[in-house]
Amino acid sequence: MQFPSPVSVSWIAEFIQAKLVGNSDGQATGINEIHKVEKGDLVFVDHPKYYDKCLNSAASFIIINKETSVPEGKALLIVDDPFEAYCKIVNHYRPFAPATKMISDSASIGAGSFIYPGAYVGHQVQIGKNCIIYPGACIMDHCILGDRVVIQAGTIIGSDAFYYNSKKERETWYKRMPSCGRVVIEDDVEIGSGCTIDRGVSHDTKIGKGTKMDNLIHIGHDTVVGKNCLFAANVVIAGVVTIEDGVTLWGQVIINKTLTIGENAVLLGRTGVGTDLPGNKTYWGAPAQDAGMQRRELVWIKRIPELWEKVMGK
């Protein structure tokens, strides 16, 4: 999430009651989680596993629960509970705002766009020109739709990320991280009925220009889908996945988190993906493999009884 304008790190330290060490004159431009952090961002870390990764990331300002050396040019904000400090900042800049109308007064809707009765358009939503939003669709707060976008009935754009801070020493093991990211949908995208596209935790979930999606598809938080992709029904994509341009996913494909699918790849129905896949190839199976190889293996598996009988007959 980008702040409306740069924020003094000294003010942030005072706001979350943190000890400020390092660059006390800095200006934070946004707040992000570790997977999407950029220069100028504020990030938090509360687990030794991620200390080094966070300290050496692009982040300029780090909320941390440990006294340590400060990387050059950066600032540390030391608190007992970095997660709660992070939540306090997010809730300050993106407070809960109840809806009183089906279409918020703060939403911007372009010329020629039609919103069916029963569709919901939230606060600060931007919808481009000549879009169609069908009944029961929900475009949640701060999401952005380009021109000529079609959202079919019952689809939810911008539901909260399925993303939790986990601490097993607490009575409640999992605490939800407030989602302050957005969903950004580019021009000429069509999304079928009953789909869910989660907003980013603190960055954006993006759907590229010209991409078409069938019904009952789930896209996880912070996932980036390229241009001119084609997804059939029941595809499930976890968080922080990169789908490059021109990828085709057929029915019931499942893709694990933080992976990359290369451009123009084709994944046949019910393929399960657990590793990055290079582009310009066709895949099938679980785990995903080259489809031609999978077919040849199946042919040989079917011949096993015949071969066994020949061997035993001798």
Q: What is the pLDDT of residues 82-124, one digit of tens each?
A: 999 999 999 999 999 999 999 999 999 999 999 999 999 999 9
Annotation marks residue 142 as catalytic: no
Query: What pLDDT score was predicted for residue 314?
Result: 56
pLDDT at position 271 over 80? yes
Contact yes or no for 181/222 (Cβ under 8 A): yes
CA distances (Å), origin 172, targets 107, 165, 169, 291: 36, 10, 8, 44
pTM: 0.92
Tokens at 73, concatenated: 């040019």
Domain made up of 2-93: CATH architecture: 3-Layer(aba) Sandwich (3.40)
Contact yes or no for 223/242 (Cβ under 8 A): yes
The superfamily in CATH containing domain 108-294 is Hexapeptide repeat proteins (2.160.10.10)
For residue range 187-199, what is the model confidence (pLDDT) as tens digits?
999 999 999 999 9
* In the chain, where the domains are located: 2-93, 108-294
Angle between helices 304-313 and 291-302 (to 10 degrees): 40
Contact yes or no for 30/9 (Cβ under 8 A): no
Query: What pLDDT score was predicted for residue 204?
Result: 96
Question: What is the average per-residue pLDDT within 252-268?
Answer: 98
Query: What pLDDT score was predicted for residue 137?
Result: 98
Question: What is the average per-residue pLDDT within 152-163?
Answer: 97
pLDDT band for 292, please (50, 70, 90 cuts). Answer: confident
Element (H, E) at 6: strand 2-8
Contact yes or no for 7/22 (Cβ under 8 A): no
Q: Which residue has the higher pLDDT, 214 or 66?
A: 214
Please provide residue 264's backbone torsions phi and psi, each rounded to the nearest 5 degrees: 65, 15
Q: Which residue has the higher pLDDT, 296 or 179?
A: 179
| Residue 12, Ramachandran bin (φ over 0: left; ψ between -120 and 50: alpha; else beta) | alpha
Query: What pLDDT score was predicted for residue 308?
Result: 77
Distance CA 197, CA 157 (A): 5
Distance CA 9, CA 62 (A): 10
pLDDT band for 147, please (50, 70, 90 cuts). Answer: very high
pLDDT at position 40 over 90? yes
Residue reference for tokens 């007959």: 313
Catalytic residue among 142, 203, 218, 221: 221
pLDDT at position 51 over 80? yes
